[in-house]
Chains A and B, each alone.
Chain A
Amino acid sequence: MTWFSSPADADARLREVGYLSDPGTAVTTYLSGQLGKPLLVEGPAGVGKTELAKAVARATGAELVRLQCYEGLDEARALYEWNYKKQLLRIQAAHGETWDATHDDIFTEEFLLTRPLLTAIRRDAPTVLLVDEVDKTDVEVEGLLLEVLSDFQVTIPELGTITATARPFVILTSNATRELSEAVKRRCLFTHIDYPEPDREREIVLAQVPDLDDALARQLVDVVSRLRDLDLKKAPSIAETVDWAHTLLALETGTLDEDAIRQTLGVVLKHASDQEKAVRELKLAAGRRP
Chain B
Amino acid sequence: MSLLERHLGFLAALREAGLPVSLAEGRDAVSALGAVGLADRSLVREAYAATLVKRAAQRPAFDAVFEVWFPALIGSGSAESALLDPESALIDADSGEIGADWASTGADSAGWDTGEALADLRERLDAALQAGDQQALDRLAVEAVARFGAMPGRGPGMSSWSAYTTLQRVSPEELIGQIVQGLLATGRTEEEADREARNRVAGFRGRVEADARRRIAEEKGPEHVTRTTLRPPIEQLDFIAARRTDLEEMRRQITPLARRLATRLTREQHANGRGPLDFRRTVRASVSTGGVPLTTHHRPKRPHRTELVVLCDVSGSVANFAGFTLMLVFAMREQFGKVRAFTFVDQAHEVTHHFRPGADPADVLTALAADTAHAARWGRTNYGRAFTTFAEEYADALGPKSSLLVLGDARSNYSDLALPRLRELADAARHAWWLNPEHRRHWDTGDSAARDYSAIVPMVECRNLTQLGEFVHRLV
Q: What residues of A have a CB within 8 angstroms of the CB of B270 in the complex?
A: 71-72, 138
Q: Are B191 and A289 in contact (CB under 8 A)?
A: yes
Q: Which residues of A contact B359 (CB under 8 A)?
A: 273
**B39 CB to closest chain A CB, in angstroms?**
11
Question: When the two chains form their complex, are residues A7 and B36 in contact, meaning their CB atoms are under 8 A apart?
Answer: yes
**B46: Cβ under 8 A from any A Cβ:** yes
Indicate if B252 sits at the interface (CB-CB under 8 A).
Answer: yes
Distance A274 CA – B55 CA, assembled complex (angstroms) = 27
The stretch that binds A, out of B4-12, B22-30, B391-399, is B22-30
- With the chains together, A219 CA to B271 CA distance in Å? 49
CA distance in complex: A37, B361 (Å):
41
Greatest chain B CB density within 10 A among A179, A185, A190, A285 is at: A190
A285-B195 Cα distance, complex, nearest whole Å: 11
Our pick among A27, A233, A272, A288 for the contact of B46 (Cβ within 8 Å) is: A27
CB pair B43–A231 under 8 Å, yes or no, is no
Judged by a CB distance under 8 angstroms, whether A192 is at the interface is yes
Interface contact A289-B190, CB-CB below 8 Å: yes
Inter-subunit contact B35/A35 (CB<8 Å):
yes
A21-59 interface code vs B (CB 8 A; 1 in, 0 out): 001100110111011010000110000000000000000
Q: Is the CB of B36 within 8 A of A276?
A: no
Q: Is B95 an interface residue (CB 8 A)?
A: no
Closest chain B CB from A174 CB (angstroms): 10
- Scoring A residues 183 to 220 as 1 if CB is less than 8 Å from chain B, else 0, what string do you get? 00110011110100000000000000000000000000
Given contacts A7-B43, A88-B290, A138-B271, contact A178 B264 (CB under 8 A): yes
* Given A186-B25, A273-B360, A24 and B49 contact (CB-CB distance below 8 Å): yes
* Closest CB in chain A relative to B31 CB, distance in Å: 6
Q: B53 contacts the other chain (Cβ, under 8 Å)?
A: yes
CB-CB under 8 A from A103, the residues of chain B are none
Q: Across the interface, do A31 and B36 meet the contact criterion of CB distance under 8 Å? A: yes
| Cβ-defined contact, B192 with A190, below 8 A | no
Residues of B with C-beta under 8 A to A285: 191
A226 near B: Cβ within 8 Å?
Answer: yes
> How far is B362's CA from A274's CA once the two chains are assembled, in angstroms?
11
Interface residues of B in 439-469 (CB under 8 A from A): none
The stretch that binds A, out of B122-130, B255-263, B400-408, B416-424, is: B255-263
B267 within 8 A of partner (CB) = yes
A92, B255: Cα distance in complex, Å? 57
Contact of B56 among A176, A189, A277 (CB under 8 A): A176
Of the candidates B20, B31, B46, B292, the one having the most CB atoms from chain A within 10 angstroms of its own CB is: B46
Q: Say whether A182 faces chain B, with CB atoms less than 8 Å apart.
A: yes
- Chain A CB within 8 A of B64 CB: no
Main secondary structure of the interface of A (DSSP, over half): helix
A28-B50 CB under 8 A given contacts A37-B28, A177-B263, A186-B24: yes
CB closest residue in chain B, given A180: B54
Size of chain B's interface in residues, with CB distance under 8 A?
47
Query: Measured between C-beta atoms, what is the minimum distance from A238 to chain B in Å?
Result: 17
Q: Is B288 an interface residue (CB 8 A)?
A: yes
Given A138-B271, A177-B260, residue A35 in contact with residue B31 (CB < 8 A): yes
CB of B47 closer than 8 Å to a CB of A:
yes
Q: Which residues of B contact A72 (CB under 8 A)?
A: 270
Query: Do A27 and B36 form a contact, CB below 8 Å, given A138-B267, A272-B358?
Result: yes
Contact B53–A190 (Cβ < 8 Å)? yes
Interface contact B260-A178, CB-CB below 8 Å: yes
Q: What A residues does B358 contact at CB under 8 A?
A: 271-273
B362 touches A231 (CB 8 A): yes
Q: Are A190 and B264 CB-contacts (below 8 A) given A7-B36, A23-B46, A285-B191?
A: no
Assess the B28–A71 pair: CB atoms within 8 A: no
Q: Is B332 an interface residue (CB 8 A)?
A: no
Chain B residues with CB under 8 Å of A71's CB are: 266-267, 270
Report the separation of the CA atoms of residues A144 and B294 in the bound assembly, to the nearest whole angstrom.
23
B32 in contact (CB, < 8 A): yes
Q: A88 CA to B59 CA in the complex, in Å?
A: 55
| Complex contact A182–B56 (CB within 8 A) | no
What residues of A have a CB within 8 angstroms of the CB of B36 in the complex?
A: 7, 27, 30-31
| Beyond known contacts A138-B267, A289-B191: 13 more, CB 8 A cutoff | A23-B42, A28-B49, A31-B50, A32-B50, A85-B289, A178-B267, A179-B55, A182-B20, A190-B54, A191-B49, A222-B192, A272-B358, A288-B190
Which 3 A-B pairs rank lowest in CB-CB distance, beginning with the nearest? A27-B46, A192-B56, A28-B50
Interfacial residues, chain B to chain A (CB-CB below 8 A): 20, 22, 24-25, 28, 31-32, 35-36, 42-43, 46-47, 49-51, 53-56, 59, 189-192, 195, 251-252, 255, 259-260, 263-264, 266-267, 270-271, 288-290, 292, 294, 358-362
26 contacts between A and B (CB under 8 A): A24-B46, A27-B36, A28-B49, A31-B47, A31-B51, A35-B31, A37-B28, A42-B55, A42-B56, A71-B267, A72-B270, A84-B289, A88-B289, A138-B270, A176-B260, A177-B263, A186-B24, A189-B28, A189-B51, A192-B56, A231-B362, A233-B255, A233-B360, A272-B358, A274-B360, A289-B190
